[in-house]
Amino acid sequence: MSRLLTFIVSSSLLVSACVQQTPQVPPVSAVELADSLKQTESRLAEKIQQQCDVLGKAENAQTENLAKITKKQATFDGRLDVIEGKIDTVIVKQHKGDAAPPLCPKPAVVSNNTGNKLVVGRTEWLWLEAVNRVYEARVDTGAATSSISALDITPFEKDGKNWVRFRLAPDDGDDSFEVEAPLVRYVKIRQASTDTLDRRPVASLTVRLGTMTEVAEFTLNDRTQMTYPILLGREFLRDVAVVDVAKDNIQIKPEIVQNQPQATSVSKSKKQ
């Protein structure tokens, strides 16, 4: 019995010695734990933001490339129409004196309306009465107001009413055209890249989209670095059009008015 008791006591002392040799882990305070979690959260948020920035730049680049491709396609289509017209002219001349040969068949007329509203695509051709020219505009339902590319904006008074004079600059090239239009009001636009508000004049211009002629309001700002000189916003589209984002240039391209002179270029550079 004494031997058994001795063995039990010895074993207890041995186990106690082993337990005492185990290193103790200092306890973590609530403040230290919160700081550690906050640092981990900050690192994760930074990595996620970096990935979002990379994806955003890639998406913007793809959108820009698609817009350029679409614009080039429209240019090629216009050149093709000119070539077909020249072919028809040659055929007529070759058969002069004979019965008139059949010309290239005209495409069937397709309705571009739904009910009493126009159906427009991501881009559409727009005729401007002020210069009697046609430009391609981008349709943007995310923008409330429409805008047009303008430089050298100068308000003035005409017959007791507010007007504005500006140079219509379709792009960053050589040609620009002087325009005078009624000044409707001023609006404040918040840019996506800054928190400051940009005060811009709003001019009233007569335009034609497809077969629809409207007097519309456009904010004036420099769009020479953008793909399209004109942007059509929700106020222009409201109650008159619906948007099919899968297509471009659904409406027929308006023609310039033959008995109305076209505006001539007033500048050979972006700055006078």
The domain containing residue 82 runs over which residues?
41-99
Q: What is the mean pLDDT of residues 148-153?
A: 94
Residue 236 or 271, more confident = 236
For residues 108 and 131, what is the distance between their CA atoms, to the nearest angstrom? 31
What pLDDT, in 10s, does the model give residues 63-108? 777 767 766 776 676 666 667 666 766 555 555 554 444 455 444 4
Query: In this structure, are strands 161-168 and 146-158 parallel, antiparallel, or unpaired?
Result: antiparallel
Same domain? For 84 and 151 the reply is: no
Same domain? For 91 and 172 the reply is: no
- The answer to whether residue 267 scores a pLDDT higher than 70 is no
Same domain? For 187 and 222 the reply is: yes
Q: Is residue 258 part of a domain?
A: no
What is residue 107's predicted lDDT score, i.e. its pLDDT? 46
Residue 204 and residue 216 in contact, taking contact as beta carbons nearer than 8 Å = yes
Total number of domains constituting the chain: 2
Selection from 23-37, 54-68, 97-111, 203-217 with the highest mean pLDDT? 203-217
Residue 144 and residue 235 in contact, taking contact as beta carbons nearer than 8 Å = yes
